[in-house]
């Protein structure tokens, strides 16, 4: 692999692309493996429901810290070592959680383990999105939606493996330990095919460590922090905030809205949520060609319109079939906001990591704040009325769509 300005062969680009696919899959696998064993961990630690919520807060807090630290890690270690380090920290956290639940029954140790998992996954999230945006830029095709679909595939695999482990009675310590080992081996193998780039603090191939030109990491940090003064980043953040809020709120509240708001059964609520997840996956798989054909701004505006229409149907639908149609439109509308936001943030290659980190933090803010805000509104005015908050945010995301307009693409794949 070569440095930033050297041409890469088609074979090198393919290996780079596949490596990023692996990293997205590994991230989804690790997250779903933990989620699938929450009931077992709860029983092992003998926790109440509110204590489970406090335990999960460790994951959220660690993720936010990891997002902030990602820029520093990239600046100090370079992309290859930083990504392997992030997966190593996450794997260590999984092992700690498993041991805390299976061997020691220690809540503080499990909390610390989840904080490590969150830190590793949060920092890896920024790094792999930076790499995904870079490789799609060099290939000249839109890859980010498909990369995020690969993350979803990893979550499906993690959920299935977790269900299998629970069915056969495999101790959560062994299960999470095996997942941690598999994730670390896969990430280390994939990172070998990520090119070294001096803009991320790497030493170019063939250069001596003590003679290679490498910008001072403190100077890079000062430059990276300056992205928060860029209005375009804040507008891209509005896009990601609205779309991510719509995505995360469906995970937390859609099934409950179907049951409590429309008087449907628990089974129907679960089925409607399955429809939403399926629509999201389809939107991300098909999103790349659609974005290449029509461009980011028209697609994001269309997604905003679809999302708003779908949400209004979900809120107001007088019949179940209209509720399902609304859910499909909601899922399609929310599917491309986050991946397109990552691509747009990384268009400026000089400080792509800092820009992606800033936008990702805004998106994660929606995941953290969304559930309690909608819960508070829903408690007083009903869960269906609370969904009007998402309608407003998706409309704002559509208005901010021009901020994601493509810069000139350099197709270097030929």
More confident residue, 251 or 300: 300
What pLDDT sits at residue 180? 95
Report pLDDT digits (tens) over 297-353.
999 999 999 999 999 999 998 888 899 999 999 999 998 988 898 888 877 766 766
Q: Using the predicted structure, report yes or no on whether residue 134 has a pLDDT greater than 60.
A: yes
135 or 96, greater pLDDT? 96
Do 224 and 354 contact (CB within 8 A), yes or no? yes
Tell me phi and psi for residue 47, to 5 degrees: -100, 150
Q: Give pLDDT, residue 19.
A: 93
pLDDT in tens, 255-264: 778 878 888 8
User: What is the predicted pLDDT for the residue at 311?
Assistant: 94
Residue 201 backbone zone (phi > 0: left; psi -120 to 50: alpha; other: beta): left
192 pLDDT more than 60: yes
pLDDT band at 251 (very low <50, low <70, confident <90, very high): low
147 pLDDT above the threshold of 50: yes
Domains, the chain = 10-199 (1.20.1250.20), 224-404 (1.20.1250.20)
Contact (Cβ atoms closer than 8 angstroms) between residue 195 and residue 69? no
Task: Please answer whether residues 334 and 391 qualify as being in contact, where contact means their C-beta atoms are separated by less than 8 angstroms.
Answer: no
pLDDT of residue 372: 65
Q: Supply the pLDDT for residue 266.
A: 67
Query: What is the structure's pLDDT at 260?
Result: 80
The band of 225, judged by pLDDT with boundaries at 50, 70 and 90, is low
**pLDDT, tens digit, 9 for 90 and up, residues 148-167:** 888 878 877 887 888 788 88
Q: What is the mean pLDDT of the chain?
A: 81
Q: Residue 40: how many CA atoms within 13 Å on its side-chain side?
A: 27
Average pLDDT over residues 25-43: 83
Q: Which of 285, 289, 339 is nearest to 133 (CA)?
A: 339
Q: Does the structure show a pLDDT above 80 at 214?
A: no
Percent pLDDT > 70 in the chain is: 85
- CA torsion sign, 384 to 385 to 386 to 390? positive
Specify whether the CB–CB gap between 135 and 14 falls below 8 A. Answer: no
Cα torsion angle, 317, 321, 324, 330, sign: negative
Provide the token pair at 35.
């989620």
Hey, which of 219-228, 324-333, 359-368 has the most confident mean pLDDT? 324-333
End-to-end Cα separation, the chain, in angstroms: 17
- How high is the pLDDT of residue 411? 40
Distance of alpha carbon 176 from alpha carbon 34, whole angstroms? 7
Residues 326/391, Cβ–Cβ less than 8 Å: no
- Centre a 10 Å sphere on the Cβ of residue 38 and count the other Cβ atoms it contains: 15
- Phi and psi based region of residue 317 (left: phi greater than 0; alpha: psi -120 to 50; beta: remaining): beta
pLDDT band with cut points at 50, 70 and 90 for residue 399: very high
């Amino acid at each position: 692999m070569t440095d930033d300005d050297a041409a890469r062969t088609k074979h090198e680009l393919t290996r780079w692309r596949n490596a990023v696919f692996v990293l997205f899959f590994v991230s989804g696998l690790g997250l779903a493996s933990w989620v699938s064993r929450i009931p077992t961990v709860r029983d092992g630690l003998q926790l109440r429901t509110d204590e489970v919520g406090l335990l999960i807060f460790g994951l959220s807090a660690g993720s936010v810290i990891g997002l902030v630290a990602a820029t520093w890690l990239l600046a100090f270690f370079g992309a290859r070592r930083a990504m392997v380090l992030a997966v190593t920290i996450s794997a260590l956290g999984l092992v700690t959680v498993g041991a805390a639940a299976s061997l020691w029954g220690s809540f503080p140790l499990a909390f610390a383990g989840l904080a490590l998992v969150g830190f590793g996954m949060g920092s890896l999230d920024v790094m792999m999105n930076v790499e995904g945006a870079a490789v799609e830029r060099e290939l000249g095709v839109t890859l980010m939606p498909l990369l995020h679909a690969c993350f979803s595939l990893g979550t499906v695999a993690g959920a299935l493996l977790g269900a299998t482990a629970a069915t056969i009675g495999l101790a959560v310590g062994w299960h999470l330990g095996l997942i941690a080992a598999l994730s670390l081996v896969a990430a280390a193998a994939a990172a070998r095919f990520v090119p070294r780039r001096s803009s991320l603090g790497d030493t170019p191939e063939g250069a001596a460590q003590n003679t290679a030109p490498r910008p001072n990491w403190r100077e890079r940090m000062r430059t990276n922090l300056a992205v928060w003064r860029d209005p375009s980043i804040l507008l891209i953040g509005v896009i990601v905030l609205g779309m991510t809020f719509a995505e995360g709120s469906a995970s937390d509240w859609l099934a409950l809205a179907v049951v409590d708001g429309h008087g449907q059964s628990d089974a129907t609520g679960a089925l409607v949520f399955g429809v939403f997840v399926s629509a999201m996956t389809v939107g991300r798989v098909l999103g790349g060609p659609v974005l290449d054909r029509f461009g980011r701004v028209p697609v994001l505006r269309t997604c905003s319109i679809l999302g708003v229409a779908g949400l209004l149907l979900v809120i107001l639908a007088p019949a179940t079939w209209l509720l399902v149609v609304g859910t499909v439109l909601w899922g399609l509308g929310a599917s491309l906001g986050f991946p397109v936001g990552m691509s747009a943030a990384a268009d400026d290659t000089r400080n792509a990591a800092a820009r992606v980190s800033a936008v990702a933090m805004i998106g994660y803010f929606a995941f953290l704040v969304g559930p309690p805000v909608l819960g508070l509104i829903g408690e007083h005015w009903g869960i269906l009325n609370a969904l009007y908050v998402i309608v407003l945010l998706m409309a704002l995301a559509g208005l901010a769509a021009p901020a994601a307009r493509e810069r000139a693409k350099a197709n270097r794949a030929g």
